[in-house]
Amino acid sequence: MEILYARCGGLDVHAKTVVACLCVEGEQQIRTFSTITEDLLQLADWLLAAGCTHIAVERTGVYWRPVVNLLEDHLTVLLVNAHHIKAVPGWKTDVRDCDWLGDLLRHGLLKASFIPPRHIRELRELTRHRQILGRDRAAVANRIQKLMESANLKLGQVATNVLGLSGRFMLQALADGEEDAAQLAQLAKGKLRAKAAQLKRSLTGHLTPTQRFLLQEL
């Protein structure tokens, strides 16, 4: 079978270790490294010193990311779907996995997954983080609304945004122990001040010590 890459390798990546198989002109060397950055840099130095040009990494959870971060600027990295590899008969151990990866890569039998450029990966992290924060905010707002209803408080029926500036002032005062609905209504800001009478009625309720504690934790 034709050999496409004379100097290449395969990496079997786990949470704590990376088992690496380096194939140089038909001879194989296998080493194990930890996933600490210092050890991953030693892995990179070892591969580069041997003239390795291509490396195959099995796509396992998020564990491949630190490895690719350190290797992609120096080597051609092929991120490989684990299911594609296991569709080819072989034996299942860490050493045999990386050996198998290296051998498949050497003969050009691997189909690489797309690895977005670093700036795209960073942009994805930002957008995903924003989505998570949005979901968390909505979840907190729902928990506060349920808590207010349980305490006979109807702030959500008067204030459009319970977590707006006025709402946060009132919620903090409730959490701190304020029970006077008139005093709470006076905390309204901007256009909500025009609804002082409605706020007073909506903020007349019964907040138990347990509910007050929960409100402080939200």
Residue 1 has a pLDDT of: 63
pLDDT in tens, 154-171: 988 888 888 889 999 999
Of 115, 146, 171, the residue at which a domain comes to its end is: 115
Which residue range(s) make up the domain with 142? Answer: 120-217
Of 55, 89, 115, the residue at which a domain comes to its end is: 115
Same domain, 75 and 126: no
Q: Is residue 56 part of a domain?
A: yes
Alpha-carbon distances, residue 63 vs 14, 36, 49, 78, 91 (angstroms): 6, 12, 24, 15, 22
Q: Is residue 54 part of a domain?
A: yes
Q: Is residue 88 part of a domain?
A: yes
Of 99, 115, 131, the residue at which a domain comes to its end is: 115
Q: Is residue 148 part of a domain?
A: yes
Same domain, 136 and 175: yes
Higher pLDDT, 48 or 90: 48
- 43 confidence band (pLDDT: 50, 70, 90): very high
Q: Is the pLDDT of residue 92 over 60?
A: no
Same domain, 128 and 110: no
Same domain, 148 and 165: yes
Q: Is residue 1 part of a domain?
A: no
pLDDT in tens, 136-150: 988 988 899 899 888
What mean pLDDT is predicted for residues 89-106? 69
Same domain, 146 and 71: no
Sort strands 7-13 and 17-24 into parallel, antiparallel or unpaired: antiparallel
Q: Is the pLDDT of residue 174 over 90?
A: yes
Eight-state DSSP code of residue 55? E
Same domain, 173 and 151: yes
pTM higher than 0.85: no
Same domain, 14 and 102: yes
What mean pLDDT is predicted for residues 76-80? 90
Q: Enumerate residues 6+ apart whose C-beta is below 8 A from 176.
A: none
Q: Number of folded domains in the chain? A: 2
- 87 confidence band (pLDDT: 50, 70, 90): very low
Residue 141 has a pLDDT of: 87
What mean pLDDT is predicted for residues 99-113? 78
Residue 91 has a pLDDT of: 47
* DSSP codes, 141-158: HHHHHHHHHHTT--HHHH
Same domain, 66 and 131: no
Q: Is residue 2 part of a domain?
A: no
Residue 107 has a pLDDT of: 75
Residue 126 phi, psi (nearest 5): -65, -45
Same domain, 153 and 96: no
